[in-house]
Amino acid sequence: MHIQIAAVGKLKEKYLVLGIAEYAKRLGPYVKLTLTEVPDEKAPETMSPAEEAIVREREGERLLAQLKPDAHVVALALDGELWSSEDLATQLDKLATYGRSHVAFVIGGSNGLAPAVLQRAQQKLSFGRMTLPHQLMRLVLVEQVYRAVKINRGEPYHK
C-alpha cells in the first residue's frame, strides 16, 4: 500500500521532523510512505473572509496538483467523521482489499482546506472537535497510520 500525506507548509520544528521520521522508519517494512509538502500562501496575520478564501483556494490548487488521479483521498477536516484507531485500520484494510492501494491524506494550512480539495476527497476524517496545529497533525496522523498497520497485522504496538 502507498500512503501519501500531503500537507500545506514546510515542517520547521525539529521535534516534529524527528517524530515523523521515526514513524516513517517504522512504517518502512509495511507501506510506501510519501510525505508531500506544498508551500503555504503568504498572507497577512489578519485577513477578511474573502482573503482567507483566496489563500485556501491557492493552497488547495497546490495540494490537488500533488494527488494522483487514482488516489483515494481522505481530507482531515473538523467536520469529518470521528474514527477510532481500529476504525482507521479497518478503512485501510478495506481499501487495500478492494484495490485502492494509494491512499492520500490531505492536511490544509492554518485556514483549512479549499472546497475543491474537500470535493476531491472520498472521505473526511476528524481527530476531534479540538483545533490542533496543522503541523502537529502530521505527526499524529503518521503515528495513527503506523498503529493501524500494526492492528491489521495483528502485531503488538511498538511503543
Binding-site residue positions for S-adenosyl-L-methionine: 76, 108, 127-132
At 17, give phi and psi (nearest 5°).
Answer: -60, -45
Residues comprising the binding site? 76, 108, 127-132
Cα–Cα–Cα angle for 145, 117, 66, rounded to 5 degrees: 70
What are the cell numbers at 27?
512504517
At 44, give phi and psi (nearest 5°).
Answer: -65, 160
Buried b (16+ CB within 10 A) or exposed e, 116-150: ebbebbebbbebeeeeeebbebbbebbbbbbbbbb
